[in-house]
């Protein structure tokens, strides 16, 4: 088959990103403009501010991605864009840009589910192909997905409340560690004792592969509050380490159970929380014990980026799955 070159566009949260990927594997460019600094002053992502920042930067980011790949629109075969889930105003910016470009160039348009993007990030880094089990842990999602073949997947479990990354962000905020919380907590945790506090791990007997992190988040906040009222200064490193340990144990336990039930021989870790070193180490140890291959892309491909969207767009291109100009951004979208 001839080469297929796809431009990917991502704007579901606070990263404005564009990338050119050839044949779903060869990353020719990947530009990610983080808005973190814009949102830090507010302690979290402000949707309206995110949409404005995407609008200001989107065309420049796309131009840069084309330049880095030494590509022009005439070299492209399709335009892939994240349509959801995410912040709807932010998604509109990417989707409207992609539709305008498709209309102007005559290139086919491909709407990509954000999680389908996270799922194929390992194809870009490791050339991984299904079947595999994927754990996606990000600011918006905590999902265990059994990928049987390209485009054929079953969601085994999801979070009932906060996503893992969201819990990191909220707990960090309560500890005044700033935004985003994940990197700040993992840094503080390095100096802390993970056994100092025994935090709860939700069992959820009616959903063996589901997650819940809001009880854990409340437990940490309760300790902070209690110690403050008792006039004690909380040990942030110990709290961070104990909280992180509880998240890691919950993610590992459910993932191990899903590996045992599905018999999958490969585990792929994806999403921004995959940057967490303690989580990587713990999952690798469980996989080693089970004789399962553990695949985790580099951090730049775990956090939001457009290369994963272009790669997932390629998978739809080869299956002839295109969208028309009625494509729109949606806040929630089932996989
Ligand atoms: O996948 P992502 O870039 O965006 C979403 O789709 O949500 O994930 C961002 C999330 C944030 O909640 C951030 O706090 C978390 O990933 N994160 C981490 C770490 N680095 C980023 N969580 C734990 N440990 C980290 N080192
Ligand atoms: Zn994401």
At residue 202, the pLDDT reads 87
DSSP lists the bridge partners of residue 8 as 19, 80
Find the range with the poorest average confidence among 29-33, 93-97, 179-183, 286-290: 179-183
- β-sheet with 266-270: strand ranges across: 152-158, 142-149, 132-137, 266-270, 293-295
Arithmetic mean of pLDDT over the chain: 95
Task: Report whether the peptide linkage leading into residue 157 is cis, meaning its omega lies within 30 degrees of zero.
Answer: no
- The better pLDDT of the pair 213, 334 is held by 213
CA 88, distance to chain mean position in Å, is 17
Task: Report whether the peptide linkage leading into residue 131 is cis, meaning its omega lies within 30 degrees of zero.
Answer: yes
Pick the residue whose CA is nearest to atom 22 on ligand 1: 182
Most trustworthy range by pLDDT among 33-37, 151-155, 268-272? 268-272
Do 117 and 32 form a contact (C-beta atoms < 8 A)? no
Decide if pLDDT at 1 tops 80: no
Is 291 labeled as ligand-binding?
Answer: no
The reply to whether 129-299 shares the fold of 5-120+302-318 is yes
**138 C-alpha to ligand 1 centroid (Å):** 5
98 C-beta closer than 6 A to ligand 1: no
Decide if pLDDT at 148 tops 80: yes
At residue 179, the pLDDT reads 85
This prediction's pTM: 0.93
Indicate which atom in ligand 1 lies nearest the CA of residue 303. Answer: 3
Decide if pLDDT at 29 tops 80: yes
84 C-beta closer than 6 A to ligand 1: no
Coil, strand or helix: which one is 196?
A: coil
Find the range with the poorest average confidence among 38-52, 141-155, 229-243: 38-52
pLDDT tens, position by position, 197-209: 999 888 888 999 9
* Exposure string for 129-168, b = 16+ CB within 10 A, e = fewer: ebbbbbbbbbbbbbbbbbbeebeebeebbbbeebbbbbbb
Taking Cα atoms as reference points, which of 82, 78, 71, 74 lies closest to residue 17? 82
Taking Cα atoms as reference points, which of 166, 107, 84, 135 lies closest to residue 270? 135
Find the range with the poorest average confidence among 36-40, 230-234, 271-275: 36-40
At residue 185, the pLDDT reads 97
At residue 226, the pLDDT reads 96
Is 118 labeled as ligand-binding?
Answer: yes
Is 54 labeled as ligand-binding?
Answer: no
Q: How confident is the model at residue 37 (pLDDT cuts 50, 70, 90)?
A: confident
Question: Taking residues 256-282, what's their average pLDDT?
Answer: 97
> Half-sphere exposure (CA, 13 Å, Cβ side) for 321?
12
Coil, strand or helix: which one is 27?
A: strand
Question: What residue segments make up the domains of the chain, in order of their start?
Answer: 5-120+302-318, 129-299
pLDDT tens, position by position, 161-195: 999 999 999 999 999 998 889 999 999 999 999 99
pLDDT tens, position by position, 53-90: 999 999 999 999 999 999 999 999 999 999 999 999 99
Q: How confident is the model at residue 44 (pLDDT cuts 50, 70, 90)?
A: confident
CATH number for domain 129-299, candidates 3.30.420.40, 2.40.128.720, 3.30.300.280, 3.40.30.10: 3.30.420.40
Fold of 5-120+302-318: Nucleotidyltransferase; domain 5 (3.30.420)
Pick the residue whose CA is nearest to atom 3 on ligand 1: 303
Do 118 and 270 form a contact (C-beta atoms < 8 A)? yes
Instruction: Tell me the C-alpha distance between 92 and 114, whole Å.
Output: 14
Find the range with the poorest average confidence among 29-43, 145-159, 211-225, 226-240: 29-43
Question: Taking residues 113-142, what's their average pLDDT?
Answer: 94
φ, ψ of residue 78 in degrees (nearest 5):
-165, 160
Which uninterrupted H or E stretch holds 288? helix 277-290
């Amino acid at each position: 088959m001839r080469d297929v070159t796809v431009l990917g566009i991502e704007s579901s949260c606070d990263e404005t990103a564009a990338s050119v990927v050839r044949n779903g594997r060869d990353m020719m460019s990947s530009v990610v403009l983080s808005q973190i600094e814009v949102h830090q002053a507010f302690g979290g992502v402000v949707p309206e501010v995110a949409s404005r920042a995407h609008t200001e930067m989107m065309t420049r980011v796309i131009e840069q991605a084309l330049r880095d790949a030494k590509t022009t629109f005439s070299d492209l075969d399709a335009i892939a864009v994240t349509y959801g889930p995410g912040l709807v105003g932010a998604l509109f910016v990417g989707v409207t840009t992609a539709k305008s470009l498709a209309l102007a160039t005559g290139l086919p348009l491909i709407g990509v589910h954000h999680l389908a993007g996270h799922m194929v990030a390992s194809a870009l880094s490791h050339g991984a192909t299904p079947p595999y089990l994927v754990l996606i842990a990000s600011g918006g999602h905590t999902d265990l997905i059994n990928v049987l073949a390209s485009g054929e997947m079953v969601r085994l479990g999801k979070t009932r409340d906060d996503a893992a990354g969201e819990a990191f962000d909220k707990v960090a905020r309560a500890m005044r560690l700033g935004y985003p919380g994940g990197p700040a907590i993992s840094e503080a945790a390095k100096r802390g004792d993970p056994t100092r506090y025994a935090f709860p791990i939700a069992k959820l007997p009616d959903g063996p592969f589901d997650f819940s992190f809001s009880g854990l988040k409340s437990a940490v906040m309760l300790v902070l509050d209690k110690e403050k009222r008792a006039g004690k200064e909380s040990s942030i490193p110990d709290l961070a380490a104990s909280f992180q340990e509880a998240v890691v144990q919950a993610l590992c336990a459910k993932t191990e159970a899903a590996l045992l039930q599905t018999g999958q021989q490969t585990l792929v870790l994806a999403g921004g929380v995959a940057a967490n070193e303690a989580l990587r180490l713990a999952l690798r140890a469980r996989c080693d014990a089970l004789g399962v291959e553990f695949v985790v892309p580099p951090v730049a491909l775990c956090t939001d980026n457009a290369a994963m969207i272009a790669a997932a767009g390629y998978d739809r291109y080869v299956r002839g799955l295109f969208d028309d100009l009625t494509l729109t951004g949606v806040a929630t979208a089932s996989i």
